[in-house]
Amino acid sequence: MKQKIHLWMSWSIVALGAGWMFVELARVVWQIGSQSGVWAIFGDGVAQHKIGELLIIIPFIIIAINSNFWPPARLRAFLSRGQWAMIAGGLLNGYAWFQLRYRVDWHFWCLALLFWGVVFGPLFGRMMIKIAEKKREKSGIND
C-alpha cells in the first residue's frame, strides 16, 4: 500500500511538472505568434529554450514512470534512443543562449541545460536505470 501511494505521488509530481512546462510552452508560442506572426516562433530564443527543455525532460519522465514496469534492457534501449532527444534539447538551448544572453536575466539557464542535455543527461539516465535494476533485484522481480 505504501509503495502504491509513493508511486502515485511520484507520478503526480512528474505530471504537474510536465504539464507546467507544456503550459509555459503554449503561453510563449501564443505570445510570440500573436505579436510577431507564426514564423517568428521558430526563430525566437524563448521558444527554442522551452522546446529544448521538453526534449531534455521527456526521456527522464518516461524512464522514471516506466522504471517499475519495463525490464532494464528495455530501459537501456529507450535511453540509447532518448539520449538523442536530450542532446538535441541541449544544443537547442545552446543556440537559444546566443539570442537570449543580452535579452533576459535567466540566460545562464540555457547554458546549464546545454551541458545537462549533452553531457549529464545520458549519464544521469544510466544512473536511473542502475537504481531501477537494484530495486528490481531487491524485490525479486525477474525478467
Tell whether the model's pLDDT for residue 142 goes beyond 70.
no
pLDDT above 70 covers what percent of the chain? 95
Query: Look-up: residue for cell 542532446?
Result: 87
- Whether 59 has a pLDDT exceeding 60, the answer reads yes
Beta-carbon contacts of residue 51 (< 8 Å; ≥ 6 apart): 25, 89, 92
Residue bearing the bigger pLDDT, 10 or 127: 127
Residue type (1 letter), 75: L
Alpha-carbon span 34 to 4, nearest angstrom: 44
Q: Which has the closest alpha carbon to 57: 123, 132, 113?
A: 113
pLDDT in tens, 94-136: 999 999 999 889 989 999 999 999 988 888 888 888 888 887 7
